[in-house]
Every structure is written in structure tokens, then in C-alpha cells.
Structure 1
Amino acid sequence: MKIKNIQKVAGRMNIGDPFIFGAYHYDLYPEGNGKFGPKASLEGHNLGNDFDNNLPWRMYHGRSIPGFPFHPHRGFEIITIVEEGYADHFDSKGSKGRYGEGDVQLMSAGSGVLHGEMFPLIHEDKPNHLRLFQIWMNLPAASKMTEPQYKMLWHEQIPIAKPTGDVRIKVILGEYEGVKSLGSLPYSWAKDPNHRVGVALITIDAGASYTIKASSASLNRFLFYYEGNAAIKIEEQSIDAGYLLDLQGGEDIVIKNITNGDAKLLLLEGEPINEPVAAYGPFVMNTEQELEESFREYRRTQFGGWPWGQEEAALVHAKDAGRFASYHFGKEIDKP
């Protein structure tokens, strides 16, 4: 069977080695209130821990602004894709920025970092819809205690493969149809092409088809049909939007869009790291002892502490800040 498993996604994606965790956020935020929060009642939201998928939008761990106020990570890499809306980033290594509308952030937590990611509702005269994927990709043991890294992939620069006129592949990591990505972080599992790591967004026009080519039998491959107006066919099986497939890596996979609109899919694939995993909350290590040591070190050092303000309002940028990345406390600035 080319399709090993099918599951409905309700926020969290059940993916596997080399990936640790995957989340899909799609929030129909209303107009902003002028303070980056929603111009709407917060009644019914569990402020500080709001993950109710029955609601049209969530505050997550934010209390006045949606998002995730600063928190620690260690031992893995985070790939954040913001297809709609904006995210404001701050971290304890002196980096900050705003990205969105198709941008991608790569961040390796390495030996330990604090970061905050908030979703500012910038528009006060129209809705602020947010569509975001966050993928945690493990680091091998040899790279877990490396220096944290942060890199932006601006959407204007991300390569697009066009195998046909009705198929477009946004190549975030890896190589598809002869088109290579902009490259990974220095210590990423994706750095070595033999690991066959690929992350891509695939858009297939109505009536068109695309074949994901066979790679290797040991490859783990996951495909998420996240947006479309009807079922599509994958290996002649009807798949509704909102479903994730675990696929054979050594087989060609045929996707047919039989709807009357675009079908949009997220593809994740890579060779497994095949190392023991000890994970709890924000830390991913190889042994329980390393995990315990990580928590002890965080309690002792706070991974260097938090250099920015403590309030949610201090974790977002000015309304007119635009898209940018700032490194080393402003010593280096990157813009699209």
C-alpha cells in the first residue's frame, strides 16, 4: 500500500522521524483593536491556554494579543511557514523580526534559546486571517548542543518549481523538479542532501495532476491536504481537505485535483535520524538524563535570560514596522 495511514488534522499533525511535531493554525481573526488584539469579545476563550478548535480563532497562550509569549526550547529545529497573516519574533540571542504573507522562518534552538512568537492583528479595517504551519525537526545528537541559529526565507526569494503550467511547488527545503531551496541552517539534518529532507507547498490547479517521485524505501513522507473546496484523489483514493497522509517514500505518488478550484498541500519528507528520543514540553534530547539536565540548566540560567520587555505588548513591533529581521541586537538587518 502506498498510503500507510490517513488522519484528520485538528491543529496537531501526527508526523515522525526526522520530524518531532507539527501544528497547523488557521484562525479567522477579526479586525484589530488598535492594540494588536481582536476587536471582539474574548468571552469563551480560555485565556493563557486557548486551543479550542470549535472556535473560529484562538488566543493560544496570549491574553490580549494572540500568540506564544516567550518560552524555552532546546535540541531541535523549528520551521515556521506563515502563508497568511503575520508573526512577530523575539529571541534571547538578540534577534527579532516580523514575517508573513508567505515567508518562512528557520530557527535552531540548539543548546537553548528563549523565543516569543506573537500574531499581531495589524489591520483595523479588515479581518486578520492567519494561516501558519510550525514543524519541529529533530537535531541529531552531534548537533543538539550547537549555537542557536535563526534565518529568514522571504517569500519573494523562495524558489518555485513549475513542472507544468498548472502545478507550482514552493521549495522551502530540499530539491524538487530540479529546483533547489535557498538552503538550510548550518547544523540542520537537512544540510546533508543524503538525508533527503524536503519541505514544500504544492498548489495544483483544477483538473491537473502531479506525481511525487519515488525517493527511498526508508524515507518518511507526509502529505497534508490543507486547502481545497472538495475531495481530491491520491492514488485513486478520495481525500478531503484537512487530512494528513503517511506515504511510502520509495513509491511514486499520484495526486489528482478533481475539484473546480486549487488544491493546496504541504509535503514533509526525510530520512529518519534513527536515534533515541527523550522529549518533554519544549526540550528534545536523546536520553532522560539529558532531558533532566536541560531542565536543571534552564532553571539555573534561563538560557541567558530574556533581554526584551516582559509584557505581551513588548513582544510585538510597531504597526508600520514592515517585514524585517534584526540579528545581534540590531547589528545586522535583513529585509525582503
Structure 2
Amino acid sequence: MKVKNIQKVVGPMPIGDPFILGAYHYDKYPAGNGKFGPKASLEGKNLGNDFDRNADWRMYHGKEIPGFPFHPHRGFEIITIAEEGFADHFDSKGSKGRYGEGDVQLMSAGSGVLHGEMFPLINEDKDNPMRLFQIWLNLPAVSKMTEPEYKMLWHENIPIAKVGDDVRVKVILGEYNGVKSIDALPHSWAKDPKHHVGVALIDLAPNATYKLEAVSDTMNRFLFFYDGSGVVNIDTYSMQQNFIADLAGGEEIIIKNNSERAKLLILEGEPINEPVEAYGPFVMNTKEELDQAFADYRKTQFGGWPWGHEEIDVVHPKDVGRFASYNFGKDTDTPTK
């Protein structure tokens, strides 16, 4: 069966091994207030835990600026796709940066890291829409306690596979239509081509058709229709916006856009096939390892938070532009055109 299931996404995406979690955020933020927060009333919002799906925009765990103030992770990799808007990154390993408007961040939590990701509302004279995916890609047991790593994929450098004039595939991980992605992180499950990990954004013009090649009968494959109107046909099935399809990895899949321009996220890969024990910010293999993760965090704070301002939402100055800085400024990286 080419299409195993199609269902509406309400909350986290229903995906599976090697992926742990898929979150899609689309927030129609208003103009900024000059302090990176919204120029709008926060009355009625559950500040510190604002996840109201019926609202046009959310503060998430931020109280003054939307986003996720510093919190710990261990045992998996985070792929953050900032298609619209901006994110400000800080972590306990001395890295920081601002990215957005199509950039992608790869971060392996490995043995443990604290990081914060805030969404500064930079524009004060117009709205600040934000569209962001966060994908948790599991690490195999042999890699869970490796050193944390962080790397930027600037949108200017992310390879694009063009299929005729009507299809563009932004290749974040893996290979599509002969176009290979930038290298994965060294300990990522995506590093080995035999694992068939693919993460890409597919942009279809009206009436365009795209073919996903048959790859592997054991591979998991998920397709999320996140932006557009009308329907997208997958072989004989129809899928509306905000629906996700669980597809056969060993079958050729034909996608036909019957809407206006349609945008889709593809996630695929061979399963790691190891036990998973996950709770909150940690993803391990056993209950004992999970307990140890909490104990280690209580003891070490994974190096602690070196950026100060523990009680407020930390962001960069307005005009710094997009950048990444590593090891407390010893190494830097900025977009190249």
C-alpha cells in the first residue's frame, strides 16, 4: 500500500522512527513593540505556557518575547527550519546566533546542552509572521553521549533541486533528484547514506507533479502539506492543508498539486530500531539512562547558563543581522551570497 494513512495534524506531527517529534509553528505576530515583543495586549494569554491553537499567535514559554527560554536536552538531534521570521539562539557551549528567512539550524544535544530559542519581533512598522519547523531526529545509542554540536545551514547555501519550471525541492538532509544536501553533523543518523535520511521542503506550482522515488521497504516516509489551498493528490488519495501522509518508502509516489502553489515537508529515513525512553527534554534508550539524565542535569546544569538574564527572555540587538558564533566568539559564521 503506497499510502498507509492520512490524518490532520493537531499538535505534534504523527511521525515515527528515526524521528521522535515534529512540531510546526505558524504565528501571525503583529509589529514589534521596540523591545522584541508584540505591540499588542498580552491580556488573557497564559504567559509562560501559551500554546493556544486557536490564537493567531502564541508566546510559548516566553513572557515578554515569544519563544523558548533556556532549557536542557540530551540524546537526540534538533533540526530547526526557520522558513519565515527569525530565531535567536544561545547555548551552554558558548554558541549563539540569529537565523531566519529560510535558514536551518542543526544541533545535536548529545550528552547534554542548555539552549534557548527566542523569536524576536524585529519589525516595528509591520507584522512579523513566523513559520518554523522543529524536528527531533533520534541519535542511536552509540552516539547519545557524544559532544554537543551546532551548525548553521544558511539559506543562500542550501541546495535546491529544480524539476522543470514548476517544482523546487530545498534539500536540507539527504539527496533528491541528484542534488545532495550539505553534510550532516558528524554523529547524526543522517551522516550515513545507507540510513536514507531525507528532510526537504517541496514547492509545487499549480498543477505541478512530483515523483518520490522508491527507496527502501524498511524506510519510514512522511509528507506534510503545510501551506496552500485546495488539495494535493497522492496517487489516488487527496490531502488537504495541515494533513500529513504516512507513505511507503519502497514505492514510487506521485504527488499532484490541484491547489494554488503548495508547500510540503518530507521526512524520511531508516528506523534506528532501538528502545526509546523519552520524557520532556531527554530521549534515551532505557529508564535508567533517563533517570541518569535528570540526575546529571540537576548536578551539572550541563555546564550552566553563561549568558546572564536568567529571569528574562534573552535576544540579540536589533541590527546584528544573521550570524552564528561558536566557543564564546572564537569562531564565527555568517551567510555568504
Counterpart residue identity of residue 291, structure 1: L
Counterpart residue identity of residue 112, structure 1: G
Q: What are the superposed Cα offsets for residues 292-335 of structure 1, whole Å, 9 maximum, x if unpaired?
A: 01100100110111100234656200000100000000001100
Instruction: Report the counterpart of residue 276 of structure 2 in structure 1.
Output: 277
Given that 1:58 and 1:66 are in contact with CA atoms closer than 8 Å, whether structure 2 keeps it comes out as yes
Specify the SS of the correspondent of 2:35.
Answer: coil
Given that 1:160 and 1:171 are in contact with CA atoms closer than 8 Å, whether structure 2 keeps it comes out as yes
Say whether residues 1:333 and 2:335 are aligned partners: no
Counterpart residue identity of residue 197, structure 2: V
Shift of 1:168: 0.3
Instruction: Report the counterpart of residue 247 of structure 2 in structure 1.
Output: 247
What are the equivalent positions in structure 2 for 1:74-223 lying under 5 Å apart?
74-223=74-223
Instruction: Report the counterpart of residue 266 of structure 2 in structure 1.
Output: 267
- When residues 64 and 327 of structure 1 are mapped into structure 2, their CA distance, relative to the original with a 3 A threshold, is same
Instruction: Report the counterpart of residue 309 of structure 2 in structure 1.
Output: 310
Instruction: Report the counterpart of residue 292 of structure 2 in structure 1.
Output: 293
Which whole-Å CA distance do the structure 2 matches of 1:307 and 1:251 have between them? 49
Given that 1:24 and 1:132 are in contact with CA atoms closer than 8 Å, whether structure 2 keeps it comes out as yes
Counterpart residue identity of residue 127, structure 1: D
The number of residue pairs the alignment matches comes to 335
Which whole-Å CA distance do the structure 2 matches of 1:314 and 1:59 have between them? 11
Bigger drift between 82-91 and 162-171 goes to 162-171
Say whether residues 1:21 and 2:21 are aligned partners: yes
Specify the SS of the correspondent of 1:130.
Answer: strand
Given that 2:65 and 2:313 are in contact with CA atoms closer than 8 Å, whether structure 1 keeps it comes out as no
Given that 1:69 and 1:312 are in contact with CA atoms closer than 8 Å, whether structure 2 keeps it comes out as no
Shift of 1:44: 2.1
5+ long unaligned stretches in structure 1: none
Given that 1:196 and 1:269 are in contact with CA atoms closer than 8 Å, whether structure 2 keeps it comes out as yes
Instruction: Report the counterpart of residue 30 of structure 2 in structure 1.
Output: 30
Given that 1:118 and 1:315 are in contact with CA atoms closer than 8 Å, whether structure 2 keeps it comes out as yes
State the TM-score, normalized to the length of structure 1. Answer: 0.98
Counterpart residue identity of residue 62, structure 1: G
Shift of 1:237: 1.4
Specify the SS of the correspondent of 1:296.
Answer: helix
Which whole-Å CA distance do the structure 1 matches of 2:34 and 2:88 have between them? 16
Given that 2:63 and 2:313 are in contact with CA atoms closer than 8 Å, whether structure 1 keeps it comes out as no
State the TM-score, normalized to the length of structure 2. Answer: 0.98
**Deviation >4 Å, runs of 4+:** 311-314
Shift of 1:174: 0.3
Specify the SS of the correspondent of 2:152.
Answer: strand
Instruction: Report the counterpart of residue 59 of structure 2 in structure 1.
Output: 59
Shift of 1:91: 0.2
Which whole-Å CA distance do the structure 2 matches of 1:68 and 1:314 have between them? 8
Q: What are the superposed Cα offsets for residues 4-27 of structure 1, whole Å, 9 maximum, x if unpaired?
A: 111211341111000000100000
Which whole-Å CA distance do the structure 2 matches of 1:10 and 1:35 have between them? 32
Which whole-Å CA distance do the structure 2 matches of 1:160 and 1:11 have between them? 29
Counterpart residue identity of residue 326, structure 1: S
Given that 1:25 and 1:132 are in contact with CA atoms closer than 8 Å, whether structure 2 keeps it comes out as yes
Q: What are the superposed Cα offsets for residues 19-43 of structure 1, whole Å, 9 maximum, x if unpaired?
A: 0001000000000000000000112
Shift of 1:209: 0.5
Counterpart residue identity of residue 12, structure 1: P
Counterpart residue identity of residue 29, structure 2: Y
Which whole-Å CA distance do the structure 2 matches of 1:98 and 1:167 have between them? 29
Which whole-Å CA distance do the structure 2 matches of 1:232 and 1:43 have between them? 39
Which whole-Å CA distance do the structure 2 matches of 1:70 and 1:234 have between them? 40
Which whole-Å CA distance do the structure 2 matches of 1:42 and 1:12 have between them? 25
RMSD: 0.9
Which whole-Å CA distance do the structure 2 matches of 1:57 and 1:268 have between them? 26
Given that 1:64 and 1:312 are in contact with CA atoms closer than 8 Å, whether structure 2 keeps it comes out as no
Counterpart residue identity of residue 208, structure 2: A
